[in-house]
Amino acid sequence: MSDQKAQLTQSIEAQGLKVRQLKSQAAEKTAIDAEVQILLGLKKELATLEGADKKSNDTKPAKKAGKSSFTLKTAKGTKDYNDKDMAIREKVFNTITKVFKKHGAVTIDTPVFELKEILAGKYGEDSKLIYDLADQGGEECSLRYDLTVPFARFLAMNGKEYPNIKRYQIAKVYRRDQPAMTKGRMREFYQCDFDIAGSYDSMIPDSEILRILCEALTNLDVGKYTVKINHRKILDGIFEVCGVPEDNIRPISSAVDKLDKLPWADVKKEMVEEKGLASEVADKIGEYVKHKGGRDLLEMLLKDEVLTSNANAAAGLAEMGTLFDYLEIFDVMDKMSFDLSLARGLDYYTGIIYEAVTEKSAPPKLAEGVLPKKKSGTDEFDESTVGVGSIAAGGRYDNLVGMFSGVNKKGVPNLQIPCVGVSIGVERVFSILMSKQKTEEIKSNETEVYVISVGDGLLKERMQIAKELWDAGIKASYMFKNKPRLDKQFDVCEKEMIPFAIFIGKDELEKGEVRVKDMRSKDESQKGGVTIKHADMIKEMKARLESL
Amino acid sequence: MSDQKAQLTQSIEAQGLKVRQLKSQAAEKTAIDAEVQILLGLKKELATLEGADKKSNDTKPAKKAGKSSFTLKTAKGTKDYNDKDMAIREKVFNTITKVFKKHGAVTIDTPVFELKEILAGKYGEDSKLIYDLADQGGEECSLRYDLTVPFARFLAMNGKEYPNIKRYQIAKVYRRDQPAMTKGRMREFYQCDFDIAGSYDSMIPDSEILRILCEALTNLDVGKYTVKINHRKILDGIFEVCGVPEDNIRPISSAVDKLDKLPWADVKKEMVEEKGLASEVADKIGEYVKHKGGRDLLEMLLKDEVLTSNANAAAGLAEMGTLFDYLEIFDVMDKMSFDLSLARGLDYYTGIIYEAVTEKSAPPKLAEGVLPKKKSGTDEFDESTVGVGSIAAGGRYDNLVGMFSGVNKKGVPNLQIPCVGVSIGVERVFSILMSKQKTEEIKSNETEVYVISVGDGLLKERMQIAKELWDAGIKASYMFKNKPRLDKQFDVCEKEMIPFAIFIGKDELEKGEVRVKDMRSKDESQKGGVTIKHADMIKEMKARLESL
């Protein structure tokens, strides 16, 4: 831990310097604020680390002394979601699920752990982040790292039954990453995937995926968003015509992928100095990847004879044209930004690729030469220094299922099921929505009616009323006390934002009456509520609840 | 594995013998059938084992040869849930969640793994079934074994904010048990818990939990069910007045717990021979625990002066009386069976305990002296030989939170939050419901309208119609082909049970018309559907869908 602390302390100093510099340069307020946020995040991380150190120091001697004391916490990188968190989370899941179901999706569920060999060789460098189960005799297993690989495994096993499927899955995945709680990056987090598997005519499922993504983001109310879109074949064609050697195409592609975080000069440096690309080749690439646009960009590229003479590029551009036609019908073309600098990290994409960003998730702009912090021991950038990043991402991956199906004598996979999909970063959506809402305004239970006694305790009578409400499907509660105080019962209604109360008193019950009150009403004349016949209670409450 | 196989082979032989004996004795058909089922289950397990052996033999040489071949399967004791399984599962979860929310519950979510020390010392012998994560540097963690211990940990951490809470949690738990797939026992399975935490007046939350359990089981439509109910204090009182030494109370209690699976003679044998109880003490216990009933049994016990002079028993009996009053108001007393033989395994219960059984989940009755199979290497009975067991269970546990809160100088827990809860065995509910339904009759997607082209391909026109339906919130699909065949489009409607189709043709579209057809209709006169104005399509479809 002390290594980590030393590193953090260093980062805090560097970040502090940057903030002071910006201030002295009278930089824009938003730019300074962004850097200050990063600084505060780093400080909070350090405090957490120090807290954990302290706690484990406190605990260890007690343990040695044989006491049953221990650290009362959740495991590193995991957290509990309380009732308010879950209320927002359920709303997010329901919104997304509704969109998925509207498009005919089914859901499947795969186990939280897989055989280790299923995950092996799928995530490149990131494989080191995979959680393994202990060897307790039996098979070697690992917690799932994403939902895509288990889905491909499912298709490879059940491809005969499911030659095509539209499926969604909302489930937790696990990565032994350095947690950055301040930015919502955890070791356990939800993914929310929608994929269409099957052999179909070109770009039809692809366009539906993009329509679904836009419906979901619009309904989630995350603010203005843009879907950056590109095509692996166009990108590969560009690399080929610029003169990138074949075995350097993926490394160069992953350098291009950093263009949303780094200025061109730094990316070029990586290409030339680290990856040995000729400077003039890099410059040619630089000319291409600076372009963003829509139809206009596509038309410009179609006029580029060097590019269109490349088979990959020509195929990619043709598909892009078809896709744009479909996206126009689906009325989502205005959300798209055809962006030649989008490359996406994962190797398995074979066709269109995309990434949605919102204004709130866009990384802070860095000045040339200022590098974002890298994750310790890796070559990846620490997202805590570059904004929350994309809010959804995906693409077409036609060969992943084949990796699981084995190959025949000719080396051809026994089963190929082309797929296209999207994964919505619900944790990020969740952070955006939580920041828009005051915690105390979130109603986490759905109780509609509180049954209140006036004067006496009347426990059995309250139980009887509650039972009648439950029988009618009305969400009702009462206080679990023999003789509750009236003010305490009022407090519950207010705290839990329960819209209606039914008051019972001895005299009224004997007359076969109860009182109903709208607890949200500020109308003084309605202060005491309305007396109704007990026999009419259900009818009355149903009518009131319907008009909510 | 060969050990396991040898054991299974032996069990199969013994079971075969039992079946032949029963047949030769002309035993009741249901009794024979039950034993045959067990035999088939054992044979299937053996086949699975042999299959796994074969597979891993097939695989290993390939691996050594450096090929990428591997066993394509899910990890032992886990399975995928396909679209049909999930449709039923979602229905079960929705039914249960609706009941929980009606009673004012909120939900919380805890991580799938906890610090190892959080789970330590909570499950007695069964701790050996806990899955550990590999030591990859950092904390020692384990997958959760149930949802109760993480909930108690949550309360201990957040007790100030949540002095009382009604919470439910539906999530997966993990046990490294010998899987018995034939009976639906898995290493990864869902639990569905509802608990009420907080200090309240006696038996009020307890009675609501039992009401909730009955509402859930009734709404789940699992058939006739009974809730066996008892009280730990009554049971302890009985043991005390019969003369069980204090340190033998829990072991004797766990012997009593086997009475639903074993005849009294076998239980007595365990008490006397294994646990060293005096034979006459065992006989006294035997007199008590044979009783089942309702109010009548309570009244009988209240007249037992020996018993009522015991403080524990007196307290338990008084609470039971209060509880019965409340259960009568809640109209669920007829589902209860006050059963003195119910003891429940877990140590942490402190008050009432209960277990729901359905006719379908009741174990087959064993003849005296015939023992159910024990789990290999343990003292527990293999449920595969005793029916699926209880369908829900729970009780009051007032001291669990205190175990996490640490103690003050006087040895008193820093925080005590009394709890009562129930866990519904959704996997069992699920098995019962799946067995009632034909797979091909389960509609796993919710598509309401299929957009079909007649004559030409009309892809863009179908996309346009689908887009209009989606915009109106209608669940619509179409075939992902440029020129789909008409019969193939009809096939999809039938296979996916899509109720409506919209037909479009070139001529009709030009006239601004579409055709709507109810695909479920057998009415020959409606064969071609009804022609409507394209402009009226949404209105028409909404009306038709509302009347579904």
Are residues B302 and B438 both part of a single domain?
A: no
CA dist B233 to A208, B240, B290, B339, B348, Å? 62, 10, 17, 14, 13
B-chain residues near A108 (CB < 8 A): 80-83, 86
Residue B86 resides in a domain: yes
- Look at residue B42 and tell me whether its pLDDT is greater than 70: no
- Which H or E element spans position B166? strand B165-174
Residue A406 resides in a domain: no
CB contact under 8 A, A111 and B78: yes
Residue A404 resides in a domain: no
Range from A109-123, A174-188, B195-209, B282-296 carrying the lowest mean pLDDT:
A174-188
Name the residue with tokens 């403080």: B311
> Considering only alpha carbons, which residue of chain A is nearest residue B81?
A109
Query: In the listed set B399, B427, B444, which residue is the last one of a domain according to the structure?
Result: B444
Are residues A147 and A120 both part of a single domain?
A: yes
| Residue A321 to residue B295: CA distance in whole angstroms | 78
- Look at residue B381 and tell me whether its pLDDT is greater than 50: no
- Token pair belonging to B407: 């103690």
Average pLDDT over residues A484-491: 95
Q: How far is B186 from chain A (nearest CA, A)?
A: 11
What is the rounded end-to-end Cα distance, in angstroms, of chain A?
54
B3 touches chain A (CB under 8 A): no
- Look at residue A409 and tell me whether its pLDDT is greater than 60: yes
Q: Give the residue among B30, B6, B33, B7 at the shortest CA–CA distance from B19.
A: B33
> Which 4-63 residues of chain B touch chain A by CB within 8 A?
none
> Which 143-202 residues of chain A touch chain B by CB within 8 A?
143, 153-154, 156-158, 161-162, 165-167, 172, 174, 176, 188, 196, 198, 200-201
Are residues A128 and A102 both part of a single domain?
A: yes
- Look at residue A430 and tell me whether its pLDDT is greater than 80: yes
B-chain residues near A459 (CB < 8 A): 201, 204
- Which H or E element spans position A44? helix A29-64
CA dist B245 to B248, B249, B287, B289, Å? 5, 7, 18, 18
A-chain residues near B78 (CB < 8 A): 111, 113
Selecting from B136, B167, B211 the residue whose C-beta is nearest the C-beta of A176 gives B136
A297 or A528: whose pLDDT is higher? A297
Q: How far is B390 from chain A (nearest CA, A)?
A: 25
Are residues A229 and A211 both part of a single domain?
A: no
CA B199 to chain centre: 28
A491 touches chain B (CB under 8 A): no
Q: Residue B28 sits in which domain range? A: 2-64
Are residues B240 and B95 both part of a single domain?
A: no
Domains: count for chain B: 4
Average pLDDT over residues B478-496: 95
Are residues B315 and B260 both part of a single domain?
A: yes
Residue A318, pLDDT score: 98
Q: What is the pLDDT of residues B242-280, one digit of tens each?
A: 999 999 998 999 899 889 889 999 999 999 999 999 999
Query: In the listed set B444, B478, B513, which residue is the last one of a domain according to the structure?
Result: B444
Are residues A218 and A302 both part of a single domain?
A: no
Residue A125 resides in a domain: yes
Q: Give the residue among A132, A466, A379, A43 at the shortest CA–CA distance from B143.
A: A132
User: CATH number of the domain that B126 lies in?
Assistant: 3.30.930.10
Selecting from B106, B115, B162 the residue whose C-beta is nearest the C-beta of A73 gives B115
**Angular region, B221: left φ>0, alpha ψ -120 to 50, beta rest:** left
- Indicate the DSSP class of residue B369: T
Q: Give the residue among A210, A211, A195 at the shortest CA–CA distance from A105.
A: A195
| Residue A157 to residue A396: CA distance in whole angstroms | 20
Residue A383, pLDDT score: 40
Ligand-binding site membership of A326 (annotated)? no
CB contact under 8 A, B113 and A139: no
Range from A86-100, B22-36, B124-138, B473-487 carrying the lowest mean pLDDT:
B22-36
- Look at residue A371 and tell me whether its pLDDT is greater than 60: no
Range from A397-401, A458-462, B180-184 carrying the lowest mean pLDDT:
B180-184
What is the percentage of chain A residues whose pLDDT exceeds 90?
A: 65
B225 touches chain A (CB under 8 A): no
Are residues A340 and A234 both part of a single domain?
A: yes
8 Å CB contact between A362 and A336: no
Range from A322-331, A429-438, A498-507, B220-229 carrying the lowest mean pLDDT:
A429-438
Q: What is the pLDDT of residues A270-292, one digit of tens each?
A: 999 999 999 999 999 999 999 99
Residue A110, pLDDT score: 98
8 Å CB contact between B241 and B301: no
- Which H or E element spans position B350? none
Q: Is A284 exposed, middle or buried (0-12, 13-18, 19+ CB in 10 A)?
A: middle
Residue A260, pLDDT score: 85
Q: pLDDT class for B547, splitting at 50, 70, 90?
A: confident
Other C-beta atoms lying within 10 Å of the C-beta of residue B256: 25
| Residue B220 to residue B95: CA distance in whole angstroms | 7
Range from A183-197, A236-250, A492-506 carrying the lowest mean pLDDT:
A183-197
Residue A38, pLDDT score: 64
CB contact under 8 A, B165 and A83: yes
CB contact under 8 A, A475 and B325: no
Residue B401 resides in a domain: no
Q: How far is A7 from chain B (nearest CA, A)?
A: 18
CA atoms within 13 A on the CB side of A238: 28
| Residue A446 to residue A497: CA distance in whole angstroms | 9
Residue A9, pLDDT score: 65
- Look at residue A5 and tell me whether its pLDDT is greater than 70: no
Q: What is the 3-state secondary structure (H, E, C) of A493-514?
A: HHHCCCCEEEEECHHHHHCCEE
Beta strands (DSSP E) in B256-365 are 292-293, 336-339, 352-358
> Which 499-538 residues of chain B touch chain A by CB within 8 A?
none
Residue B187, pLDDT score: 94
Q: ipTM greater than 0.85, yes or no?
A: no
> Considering only alpha carbons, which residue of chain A is nearest residue B481?
A201
CB contact under 8 A, B80 and A325: no
| Residue A132 to residue A144: CA distance in whole angstroms | 9
Average pLDDT over residues A121-129: 82
Residue B403 resides in a domain: no
- Look at residue A185 and tell me whether its pLDDT is greater than 90: no
CB contact under 8 A, A106 and B172: no
Range from A40-49, A285-294, A526-535, B181-190 carrying the lowest mean pLDDT:
A40-49
Long-range CB contacts (< 8 A, 24+ apart) of A175-178? A175/A126, A175/A129, A175/A130, A175/A131, A175/A145, A176/A77, A176/A128, A176/A129, A176/A130, A176/A131, A176/B136, A176/B138, A177/A77, A177/A129, A177/A375, A178/A4, A178/A375, A178/A376, A178/A382
Ligand-binding site membership of A295 (annotated)? no
Residue B401, pLDDT score: 92
B524 or A540: whose pLDDT is higher? A540
Q: pLDDT class for A382, splitting at 50, 70, 90?
A: very low
Q: Show the DSSP H helices in A77-231 as ranges.
A: 83-102, 116-119, 148-158, 204-220
Selecting from B114, B154, B470 the residue whose C-beta is nearest the C-beta of A102 gives B470
Query: In the listed set A390, A407, A430, which residue is the last one of a domain according to the structure?
Result: A390
Which residue in B4, B59, B79, B82 has the most chain A C-beta atoms within 10 A of its own C-beta, making it the best mutation to test that interface?
Answer: B82
A101 touches chain B (CB under 8 A): yes
User: CATH number of the domain that B54 lies in?
Assistant: 1.10.287
Are residues A91 and A210 both part of a single domain?
A: yes
Are residues B459 and B346 both part of a single domain?
A: no
Residue B76 resides in a domain: no
Return the number of CB contacts < 8 Å for A and B.
250
CB contact under 8 A, A446 and B135: no
Residue B26 resides in a domain: yes
8 Å CB contact between A81 and B109: yes
Name the residue with tokens 């717990």: B257
Residues paired with A192 in a beta bridge: A170, A424
- Look at residue B491 and tell me whether its pLDDT is greater than 70: yes
CB contact under 8 A, B134 and A135: yes
Range from B227-236, B328-337, B429-438, B460-469 carrying the lowest mean pLDDT:
B429-438
Are residues B261 and B340 both part of a single domain?
A: yes
CB contact under 8 A, B103 and A480: no
Residue A362, pLDDT score: 52
Q: pLDDT class for B539, splitting at 50, 70, 90?
A: very high
8 Å CB contact between B400 and B152: yes
Q: pLDDT class for B120, splitting at 50, 70, 90?
A: confident
Name the residue with tokens 């003679």: B265
Other C-beta atoms lying within 10 Å of the C-beta of residue B547: 6
Average pLDDT over residues B524-531: 82
Q: What is the pLDDT of residues B124-167, one digit of tens each?
A: 778 889 999 999 888 999 999 999 999 999 999 998 899 999 99
A470 touches chain B (CB under 8 A): yes
A-chain residues near B131 (CB < 8 A): 133-134, 136
Residue A377, pLDDT score: 44
Are residues B110 and B47 both part of a single domain?
A: no
CB contact under 8 A, B133 and A134: yes
Residue B8, pLDDT score: 63
Ligand-binding site membership of A478 (annotated)? no
CB contact under 8 A, A211 and B73: no
CA A166 to chain centre: 20
Residues paired with A450 in a beta bridge: A477, A501
Average pLDDT over residues B35-57: 57
Ligand-binding site membership of B515 (annotated)? no
Range from A96-100, A297-301, B72-76, B521-525 carrying the lowest mean pLDDT:
B521-525
CA dist B217 to B208, B224, B437, Å? 14, 9, 18
Q: Mean pLDDT, chain A, as a whole number?
A: 86
- Look at residue B494 and tell me whether its pLDDT is greater than 70: yes
A460 touches chain B (CB under 8 A): yes
> Considering only alpha carbons, which residue of chain A is nearest residue B404?
A72
**Angular region, B457: left φ>0, alpha ψ -120 to 50, beta rest:** alpha
Q: Give the residue among A426, A333, A330 at the shortest CA–CA distance from A95.
A: A426
